[in-house]
Amino acid sequence: MIVLNQIIIMALLITAGVICYKCGIIGKEATQSLSSLVLMVVNPIVILVSYQQPFEKRMLKGLLWSLLLALISTVISIVISKVFIRKKSGRLAVERFSCIYSNCAFMGIPLVSALYGSEGVFYLTAFVTVFNLFVWTHGVFLMEEKLNKKMIIQAVKTPAVIATFLGFALFMLKISLPDILLKTLTYLENLNTPLAMLAAGATIAQTNIFKALKNPRLYYICILKLILVPAAACAVFCFLPLDDVVIGTNILASACPAAATGTLFAIRYKKDSLYAAELFAVTTILSIVTLPLIMNITQKIL
């Protein structure tokens, strides 16, 4: 019920984003600025704040397990994309990218925060770190078919990864931020869900969503991304003797819709960016149904 309520709230916020774009309140440049603000500033703050809790060996162990599960989940996604997406076309890279990489920070953080609180976000940072490392290495290779040292360095230098390393250091050293600074960061942290969903809605409004919904190929990719990938992760993770929050967080992250990064990468590497945006839009809309379903099954198994 918590998942469904949160999804409905997020759906309403996404609708508000669509309306704002259609009414001219949020333009194309403003949408990009909102996305950048969320990814480069707000998400890293959410990650940093999640580490501001008393040091416990239990949580450190859970974080390390979460890192391993995130790696396994990413490998599962890569294998599924290679096995089930074989169509030789200019869209192959975009489809595989959308199948592998989820909106684990953009949509994952608000959902995990609502379901599991700061402890869940703490474990989610491992998934976000793996996402950033893979997306700037394997993801770039997928789009450009080449990889160099600069790209690997760029992966480590992303704000989310830096915030994770900084937060982890503070957690291990048992250092608490000054109360006034922590309260300031908490105010900024609270912007995450509304800003992310407004940006998602404005992005969806820029696509011909009704035309996209008539494309059967999109539904095939959606089934892979929203059902098969998290179902495979659930089949592997749910029977491990681990904390329910660790397992639930990782399954939820893998069940999130296609990453908005796919559209940005498609533009950057001259792939079909419109198709990438359609995949983002349709997976985001359909996740309103699939996410509660996946999490309900997960919670019953756990």
Per-residue pLDDT tens for 178-204? 999 999 999 998 898 888 888 888 888
Range of weakest confidence among 7-11, 71-75, 86-90: 86-90
Residue of 225, 241, 11, 237 whose CA lies nearest to 111: 11
The 3-state DSSP class for residue 211 equals helix
Q: Is the pLDDT of residue 2 over 80?
A: no
Rounded mean pLDDT, 236-252: 93
Whole-prediction pTM: 0.84
Residue 107: count other Cβ atoms within 10 Å of its Cβ.
Answer: 27
CB distance 233 to 301 below 8 Å = no
In the prediction, which pLDDT does 184 show? 97
Question: Which residue bears the tokens 């999109």?
Answer: 218
Burial of 144 (0-12, 13-18, 19+ CB in 10 A): middle
150-174 confidence digits (pLDDT tens)? 777 776 788 888 988 899 999 999 9
Residue of 151, 180, 167, 153 whose CA lies nearest to 269: 151
142 CB-side CA count, 13 A = 23
23-69 confidence digits (pLDDT tens)? 999 998 888 888 888 888 988 898 899 889 888 899 999 999 999 99
Angle between helices 2-22 and 192-205 (to 10 degrees): 50
In the prediction, which pLDDT does 123 show? 94
In the prediction, which pLDDT does 140 show? 83
Residue 59: count other Cβ atoms within 10 Å of its Cβ.
Answer: 20
CA 107/CA 87 separation, integer angstroms: 29
Question: Percentage of the chain surpassing pLDDT 70?
Answer: 97
Dig out the tokens for 29 from the structure: 């440049």
**Cβ partners under 8 Å of residue 293, min gap 6:** none
Question: Percentage of the chain surpassing pLDDT 90?
Answer: 44
Range of weakest confidence among 42-46, 63-67, 73-77, 144-148: 144-148
Residue 258 is classified by DSSP as B
Could you confirm whether domain 1-301 is CATH 1.10.10.10? no
CA 157/CA 161 separation, integer angstroms: 7
Residue 33 is classified by DSSP as H
Backbone phi and psi for residue 18, each to the nearest 5 degrees, phi listed first: -60, -45
In the prediction, which pLDDT does 235 show? 93
Chain centre distance of CA 134: 13
User: For all residues of the chain together, what is the average pLDDT?
Assistant: 89
Q: Is the pLDDT of residue 145 over 80?
A: no
Amino acid identity at 233: A
Q: Is the pLDDT of residue 88 over 70?
A: no
In the prediction, which pLDDT does 192 show? 84
Angle between helices 57-84 and 92-100 (to 10 degrees): 150
- DSSP lists the bridge partners of residue 102 as 258
Task: Measure CA of the first residue to CA of the last residue in the chain; give whole Å.
Answer: 16
* Residue 208: its H or E element: none
In the prediction, which pLDDT does 74 show? 97
